[in-house]
Copies of this chain bind each other. A is one copy, B any other.
Amino acid sequence: MDLITEKKTDLFQIRDVETLVNWLASFGQSDTGGANRLLYSEAWLEAQLALKNMIKANGFTAYFDSVGNLFGRLEGTKQKDKTILTGSHIDTVIDGGKYDGVFGIIASFLATKILYQKYGRPHKTIEIVSLCEEEGSRFPLTFWGSGNITGKYTLKDALSIKDTEGISLATAMKKAGFDPAKYRSPQRKDIDAFIEMHVEQGLVLDYSNTSIGAVDYIVGQRRFTICIKGESNHAGTTPMPYRKDAISLASQYIYYLTEKAKRLDKDLVVTVGKINAKPNVPNVIAGEVEFSLDVRHYNDPLLDQYCDDLIQYFTSISEELDMPIDIHPWMKVKPVAMDPKLTLLSKKVAIQHNISVRSLVSGAGHDAQVFGEFCPTALLFVPSQKGISHSPMEFTKKEDLENGVHVLINYLYELAYT
């Protein structure tokens, strides 16, 4: 059974997806075509309120919780206390793209709307969610929306965290109208499953010409800041054997860590994205280099193995050369597995409807990783053209957006109507 081909109107409605994405993404649009909806900003609030009106106008119960997560509830006829929660986040990075977060909200809204129009109320409750925050662009924390639903954060956390202007999260929240006295607590105990659809932000689907990615794992991350001390000296008068050249040693390390990663496992990704040398002058040997290291994989022991080996190699070489090294670990996030049954079901649905699908690992963080430790969770991707993300150049083809909604309709049907 292919739900959307049964009636021409359904197909017509799916075709609305691009229009609706453009509509929601237009809130906070910048001159460059990028979007700015930082948490609790004016544009953010306008977007949430406009979305609330649209949800309401389509027959759902629309409500906010006290941190500003927006819900559209379609109560179940048989299991109203078992909620299938589906959606994504409304906030953006600074000058972000149109699809990141927005597409997931629109897809969930559209799929639920079509199901409701066709089949009436589901057996299990479906709630669409527009999560208030995921990116960490305004305040130095991420997943404020999903974190409050799942109990990772509480309102107390909002007091001490400040934006670059010194405004606390609590103050910004109140200023946007979100008073715990007026709204219900964000914490939930009734979530039966969380289903998130999102753009890939990578190029695997685009390069493999696949419409849907079913995510098995969201990777674990390790981040380090590595500082090598050398000896700053004259580039002309210091023979090579007498040198303690920090740029040269950093290069040796970066070459080593890259080659090692390539050999160890095809799903391992490592990045040195930042490098700074001192004094950074052409004719002076560098006395100090600091570089970042970002390591990601879905298998925690493999992350341990890789990082331990690097640390041992760096330490022994630096000791041998009498060039002190400081390896500062500042992020350690464990991999999160998506629910295997839910993920398998999403793939079955796609295959049933002749929509290309493949398994994927998510190299980026998503709200699904917060839910993944709290309830059965599935994360589905649609392609990002050339993998471009967090940029006004972000783009997903209309056909892929439609395929995403097409899969989600049938997937939510399986989860909530059968």
8 tightest A-B contacts by CB?
Answer: A202-B237, A236-B363, A282-B292, A251-B254, A235-B271, A237-B363, A251-B251, A236-B364
Residue of B233, B251, B253 near A258 (CB, 8 A) is B251
State A240–B270 Cα separation when bound (angstroms). 8
Task: Report the count of interface residues on A (CB-CB < 8 A).
Answer: 63
Q: Which residues of B contact A112 (CB under 8 A)?
A: none
Kindly report how many copies of this chain are found in the complex they form together: 2
Q: A283 with B266: in contact, given A237-B387, A389-B237 (CB under 8 Å)? A: no
Query: Chain B residue with minimal CB distance to A237?
Result: B202
A-B contact pairs, 8 of them (CB 8 A): A223-B283, A235-B296, A239-B269, A248-B255, A251-B258, A271-B282, A273-B279, A273-B283
Residues A195-232 near B (CB distance < 8 A):
200-204, 207, 219, 221, 223
Q: A364 with B234: in contact, given A207-B242, A277-B275 (CB under 8 Å)? A: yes
The answer to the question of A346 belonging to the interface, with a C-beta cut-off of 8 Å to chain B, is no
B294 and A273: CB pair below 8 A? no
A239 and B266: CB pair below 8 A? yes
Q: A234 with B390: in contact, given A240-B269, A247-B254, A275-B275 (CB under 8 Å)? A: yes
Q: A273 with B237: in contact, given A223-B282, A247-B254, A251-B254 (CB under 8 Å)? A: no
The answer to the question of A286 belonging to the interface, with a C-beta cut-off of 8 Å to chain B, is yes
The answer to the question of A274 belonging to the interface, with a C-beta cut-off of 8 Å to chain B, is yes
Q: Which residues of B contact A207 (CB under 8 A)?
A: 242
Q: Which residues of B contact A200 (CB under 8 A)?
A: 237
The answer to the question of A35 belonging to the interface, with a C-beta cut-off of 8 Å to chain B, is no
State A385–B240 Cα separation when bound (angstroms). 18
| A389, chain B: closest CB distance, angstroms | 6
Chain A residues within 8 Å of B, Cβ to Cβ: 200-204, 207, 219, 221, 223, 233-242, 245, 247-248, 250-255, 258, 261-262, 266-277, 279-286, 291-292, 294, 296, 362-365, 387-390
Q: Which residues of B contact A251 (CB under 8 A)?
A: 250-255, 258, 272
B248 and A254: CB pair below 8 A? yes
Query: Chain B residue with minimal CB distance to A389?
Result: B234
Q: Which residues of B contact A241 (CB under 8 A)?
A: 266
A234 and B273: CB pair below 8 A? no
Residue of B203, B239, B363 near A204 (CB, 8 A) is B239
Q: Which residues of B contact A279 (CB under 8 A)?
A: 273
Q: Which residues of B contact A267 (CB under 8 A)?
A: 239
A240 and B262: CB pair below 8 A? yes
| A133, chain B: closest CB distance, angstroms | 18
Residue of B254, B283, B291 near A271 (CB, 8 A) is B283
Query: Chain B residue with minimal CB distance to A235?
Result: B271
| A130, chain B: closest CB distance, angstroms | 23
State A171–B266 Cα separation when bound (angstroms). 65
| A135, chain B: closest CB distance, angstroms | 12
A238 and B203: CB pair below 8 A? yes
A235 and B269: CB pair below 8 A? yes
Q: A275 with B280: in contact, given A240-B262, A242-B207, A363-B237 (CB under 8 Å)? A: yes
A238 and B283: CB pair below 8 A? no
| A347, chain B: closest CB distance, angstroms | 20
A280 and B274: CB pair below 8 A? yes
B268 and A240: CB pair below 8 A? yes
Q: Which residues of B contact A271 (CB under 8 A)?
A: 235, 245, 282-285
